[in-house]
Structure formats: C-alpha cells, structure tokens
Amino acid sequence: MRTPPGVKEADFAAALREFASAIGKQWVFTSDEDVDLYRDAYSPFWGEPEERQASAALAPDTVEQVQAIARIANRYKIPLYTISTGRNLGYGGSAPNASGSVVLDLKRMNRVLEVNENNAYALVEPGVSYFDLYRYIEERGLKVWIDVPDPGWGSPVGNSLDRGGGYTTHQFRNHFDAHCGMEVVLANGDLVRTGMGAMPGSKSWQQYKTGFGPAIDGIFSQSNFGIVTKMGFWLMPQPDAYLTGTVEVPRHNDLVPLVEVLNFLENSRICQGMSDLSSPVMGMPAPPDAPPSPPDLIALINKAIDGNARELDDYAASKGLTAWSVTIKFYGPAKAIAAQWEYAKEKFSVIAGAKFIDGELIRLPLTAGQRDKVHKVEFGIPSLSIFSMGARNANNPTPGDGHQWFSPIIPRNGEAVFEANKVFAAAGRDFGLPVPPFSIPFCFWERSFLFLFGFPVTHDAAKNKSTREAFRHLVQIAAGHGWGEYRTAPAYQDLIMSTYSFNNHALLRLHETLKDAIDPNGILSPGRYGIWPKHLRGARR
C-alpha cells in the first residue's frame, strides 16, 4: 500500500480505520486494483516515477461524512484530493497533484436537490453529472436547459469549479459565472454557505449571487481552499427557436473587420450563441477524419502566416472558396431572431464581398429526428461524440492514449489571431508538434479568443517527455507574448501559475497567504493550481 508523503504508516493505518468508521469500510479503497482506477488515464507522465498517484480513495455519501473526513485528515495530516466525477480528461482526471494524496471521490453524492422551472435554476451535489441533470429535467418535462461542456460526463460542480465552458448563450457558457451559491466544507470540517445561503432560512440562495459582504465564491474555483458539497446554477429557459446565419468573406485579411463586427454583435447580445469561425480555403478547423492538407496549400498558408496572403487569396478565388466564414447563432422568439440575423447582415455588409447563408430556423423543442442531426451541445444535450476526434478512424488507424490541452487566451481581434499563428506555427516546427497549418480560435468566452491545441499522450515515456518539453516551451513562448492559459493539467499547473507573475508573483503570494490561513495543515488538494501548503512549498518554488 502507498502512503502519503511524511505520514507514518501506523498513522495512515489509524486514519484509514477512522475513515472507515465514518463512511463505511466498503467506501475506503486501498487495494492497488481499486486505487489504480484513480490514475489519470491521460497523464503525460504515464508509467514514469513522476506520475501523480493516489494512496487511497474515500467515497462519502453525505456532507456530514465529508466533514468527518476533513476532521480526521486534519488530525493525521493526511492530504486529500477532491474530485466530483473525475472526468476532466486532458486537465488531470481523477489523479491528485501530490502523489500519495487520498482521493476524496464525491461521485456518490449525486442528488439533484432542486430544479426550479419558473425561475430557471438548479441546486446539485458534486456527483451529479450533466447527463444526470439532463435526464432529471427531461423525465419531468421541465422547460429549462442546462449548458453542457463537451464531453458531458463531467459534473456541473466540478466543471464550473475548474472554470469549464459550454455552447449555448453568453450568460450560461461560462459555467463558473452561471453558478449561484455554494456550500463548502472547510479544512477544519466547518460548513459554510455563500451568498444568500449564509442566512438561515434564506428563500433566495439560488436567486441572488453575492449575498452580503465580500463575494468569496471565486476563491473556491481552480484552488484548494475548500470542498464544495452543493452548488446552485442558473439555467436557460427553453427558447422558442434557434437560428444560425453564416457570413463568408473573400480575403485573408478580412478576418480583421470580420472579428470587429462579430465582437460588436456578441457584446451587444444581438447574437447570443457560440460563434464558429472557420476558413473554407484552408479547410480549418479540419474534421477528425479529414486527410492531411496538401503540401501546396500548406505552403500558401505559411506565406499568409508570414504576412503575404496574396497567393492564398488567388488560390481561394480560383477554387471558388472564401477565406473566412463565421456562423453566428441565435436563441429566442422566431420573429425576433430572424430580425437579429437581418441586422447582423447589415453590419457585416461593411466588408466588401461578404456573402450570407441563411441557416435553418429550428423551432424548439427538438423532435427526436432533429436530435440525431444537430450539434447536441448547442441545445444543452450532453454527448460524448467529441471523443471521435481522438478515437480510431480511417485516417487515424493508430490512435493515442489521450491528450493534453494547451489552451491560451488570445485577444479578440484578427491581428492577434495572425500573430498567434505565426508564433505557434514556428514553435510547432521547432518542436515537431502536431500544430495544424492554421489554428482557428474558439469563441467560448466573451471578449477573448481561446486557442486549443490538443497534444497526444501515449504510453511511450520518451514520446511523452518530448511532448512535455514542447508544451513547456509553448507556455513560456505564449507568456512572452502576454498570452496565458485558462486551465491546465496538474503536470503544468506550477509552471503556468509561475507565468502569472506580476509584481514578484503577488497573486500567488496572496493565494499562499489564504492557504496558510484557511488550511494551516495543508490537507486540501495540495498543489492544485500551483498553490502548495507551507510545508511543501519550498520544493516547488
């Protein structure tokens, strides 16, 4: 049996006995066979000594059991690593930051406590997955939508705390922003409710976010300051209809005005869904089963990246293709969203040669036949279809064993997209990374672009080592240009936190001050997002 670092075997054994007494011995996992199920299947250190692995796992069923676990862990100084569903693959899965931690698996706490249709909100426990919540709503015929990430087998609590995103409208895509009220077990076992939940008998815990006094919910996201045991979320009233409209512009440099108009329309809430940018001439983003781009096209793309797009524009014209396309999405009353699309066309018409393609107006709810054809997540329907990207297919006969995401935030303008591609294309060539010929940014977040590069994880240590080195270089290169990652796997959290270094790492120093005050024994998820307790800090800084 593995033991947590710095904990005597006898103390660990005593703690495990007390954990078993608190939650039932069948929910204390200590055999290698059971604990191995908590390995991060997508670990970039798979099979190497540095792979972060748990020593045991605990699966409580109630808040009271979580409180009891925290008190026992504090007494024996056992590091706990909390997971909700443990499915944030590519960002760490169910494995801890610090090897030897005991995973606190909240999957059994899977109760949907409330869904209020009239005022569109929900209150759930951490083990509730998006599939579970969707099913609960569907079975009751409630006219509210959830906003789901892709894939959808994670939990609203875990995904929002890790600051994940979805695909419906602005107000709900940022999952942490869409939450309203938390219940948190602190390291000493105390129980806190945030927002209106702090008032006994409150009638509006999920209806007003900030309550009274400092709004502290944010410190429980991407951190290790508490164990969130309940969380409220605002839901989207089921809209009457959904409409898409596509704008195509002819020249490479048209991206600049295209993004300017797009920003105006999104920031004005004229179009509310997640816009999709693409490049018809470059064939980007490529579908998962697409063959590689032809070399002559790649040469033209590289010239465009270097600032000379004339030949690429000529090539596009000769093929009858446009340089850029953006599909914008509308949710709401059919007449209103049709009018919003007409207004959007007027705005995009400032770009010479802009063409418009009307999408199908879909009246909601979807019929069974429509469900199979649409991009489900845009309708709040959880799905795992995104795994098609990494799974075996005709053009990927030897799939890898997972992926890790390099995901920098880039300013929302066309010039930044060109600059980022120049920088990342060069880095990709230098380090032999599978960077696509041109990377198209995603519009998940308001006001910014997100670049997403999925790098393969294998069970070949040499290949993983090479990818890790390239990943680290990319982080540094991005930081050198003022681009930071929004989220990452434990393997890179220290590195990325170190790039947020304004004023001699003042933000990290504040995190550490909080950590020392709120969790003096450092038992909660040590190392998560680069925040280490005092006794482990020296080695990491």
Partner 1 sequence: MKTFRVALLSTLAAGIAATGTARADDEAQVKAGNAVFQKWCAPCHASGPGHPGTQALQALYNGAKPAPLEERTDLTPEFIRNFVRHGVSVMTPFRKTEVSDADLAALTAYLIRTQR
Which residues does the annotation mark as catalytic? 91, 486-487
> Could you give the CA distance from residue 370 to residue 393 in angstroms, rounded to a whole number?
25
> Could you give the CA distance from residue 262 to residue 267 in angstroms, rounded to a whole number?
8
CA atoms within a 13 Å half-sphere pointing along the CA-CB vector of 339: 5
Taking the least distance from each CB to partner 1, the nearer of 396 and 448 is 396
Residue 391: CB minimum distance to partner 1, A: 4
> Could you give the CA distance from residue 173 to residue 426 in angstroms, rounded to a whole number?
32
Residue 390: CB minimum distance to partner 1, A: 4
> Could you give the CA distance from residue 222 to residue 525 in angstroms, rounded to a whole number?
11
| Total of chain residues touching partner 1, rule CB under 8 A | 42
Binding flag, residue 383, partner 1 (CB under 8 A): yes
Cα 121 to chain centroid distance, Å, stands at 21
Give the 3-state DSSP-derived string for 10-65, with helices as H, strands as E and coil as C. HHHHHHHHHHHHHHCHHHEECCHHHHHHHCCCCCCCCCCCCCCCCCEEECCCCHHH
Binding flag, residue 303, partner 1 (CB under 8 A): no
Read off φ and ψ for residue 379, nearest 5 degrees. Answer: -115, 20
Q: Please say whether the beta carbons of 44 and 464 come within 8 A.
A: yes
Taking the least distance from each CB to partner 1, the nearer of 228 and 337 is 228
Identify residues 241-260 at the interface with partner 1 (CB under 8 A): none
Of 273, 402, 526, 527, the one binding partner 1 by CB under 8 A: 402
Binding flag, residue 405, partner 1 (CB under 8 A): no
Residue 108: CB minimum distance to partner 1, A: 6
Cα 431 to chain centroid distance, Å, stands at 26
> Could you give the CA distance from residue 253 to residue 516 in angstroms, rounded to a whole number?
51
Taking the least distance from each CB to partner 1, the nearer of 131 and 330 is 131
Binding flag, residue 455, partner 1 (CB under 8 A): no
Binding flag, residue 126, partner 1 (CB under 8 A): no
Residue 51: CB minimum distance to partner 1, A: 15
Taking the least distance from each CB to partner 1, the nearer of 207 and 458 is 458
Residue 129: CB minimum distance to partner 1, A: 9
Binding flag, residue 149, partner 1 (CB under 8 A): no
Binding flag, residue 43, partner 1 (CB under 8 A): no
Stretch that binds partner 1, among 26-34, 235-243, 472-480, 509-517 (CB under 8 A): 26-34
Identify residues 491-520 at the interface with partner 1 (CB under 8 A): none
Binding flag, residue 397, partner 1 (CB under 8 A): yes
Stretch that binds partner 1, among 180-188, 240-248, 383-391, 485-493 (CB under 8 A): 383-391
Binding flag, residue 34, partner 1 (CB under 8 A): yes
> Could you give the CA distance from residue 194 to residue 14 in angstroms, rounded to a whole number?
34
Binding flag, residue 399, partner 1 (CB under 8 A): yes
Stretch that binds partner 1, among 71-79, 84-92, 156-164, 233-241 (CB under 8 A): 84-92
How distant, in Å, are the alpha carbons of 11, 397, 401 from that of 90? 34, 21, 11
Q: Please say whether the beta carbons of 167 and 378 come within 8 A.
A: yes
Residue 58: CB minimum distance to partner 1, A: 10
> Could you give the CA distance from residue 256 to residue 417 in angstroms, rounded to a whole number?
9
Binding flag, residue 392, partner 1 (CB under 8 A): yes
Stretch that binds partner 1, among 265-273, 277-285, 393-401, 463-471 (CB under 8 A): 393-401
Per-residue contact string for residues 258-297; x = within reach of partner 1 by CB under 8 A: ----------------------------------------
Identify residues 334-373 at the interface with partner 1 (CB under 8 A): 372
Of 267, 367, 385, 476, the one binding partner 1 by CB under 8 A: 385
Q: Is 285 helix (H, G, I), strand (E, B) or coil?
A: coil
Taking the least distance from each CB to partner 1, the nearer of 384 and 507 is 384
Residue 86 makes CB contacts below 8 A (sequence gap 6+) with 38, 93, 94, 103, 105, 107, 158
Residue 524 makes CB contacts below 8 A (sequence gap 6+) with 70, 79, 80, 82, 187, 224, 225, 226, 227
Residue 222: CB minimum distance to partner 1, A: 22
Binding flag, residue 454, partner 1 (CB under 8 A): no
- Give the distance between the most distant pair of CA atoms in the chain: 76
Binding flag, residue 59, partner 1 (CB under 8 A): yes
Read off φ and ψ for residue 298, nearest 5 degrees. Answer: -60, -40
Which of 494, 496, 500 lies closest to 475 in space, CA to CA? Answer: 496
Stretch that binds partner 1, among 31-39, 275-283, 429-437, 464-472 (CB under 8 A): 31-39
Of 10, 49, 360, 394, the one binding partner 1 by CB under 8 A: 394
Residue 83: CB minimum distance to partner 1, A: 9
Taking the least distance from each CB to partner 1, the nearer of 378 and 519 is 378
Paired tokens of 24: 């039932």
> Helix H segments across 99-144?
130-139
CA atoms within a 13 Å half-sphere pointing along the CA-CB vector of 458: 11
Residue 19: CB minimum distance to partner 1, A: 15
Taking the least distance from each CB to partner 1, the nearer of 42 and 242 is 42
Residue 84: CB minimum distance to partner 1, A: 11
Binding flag, residue 41, partner 1 (CB under 8 A): yes
Residue 133 makes CB contacts below 8 A (sequence gap 6+) with 112, 115, 122, 124, 146, 156
* Residue 225 backbone zone (phi > 0: left; psi -120 to 50: alpha; other: beta): alpha
Which of 286, 319, 281, 285 lies closest to 300 in space, CA to CA? Answer: 281
Adjacent-strand bridge partners of 276 = 327
* Site for partner 1, rule CB under 8 A: 29, 33-34, 36-39, 41-42, 57, 59, 85-86, 89, 93-94, 105, 107-108, 127, 131, 153, 372, 382-388, 390-394, 396-397, 399-403
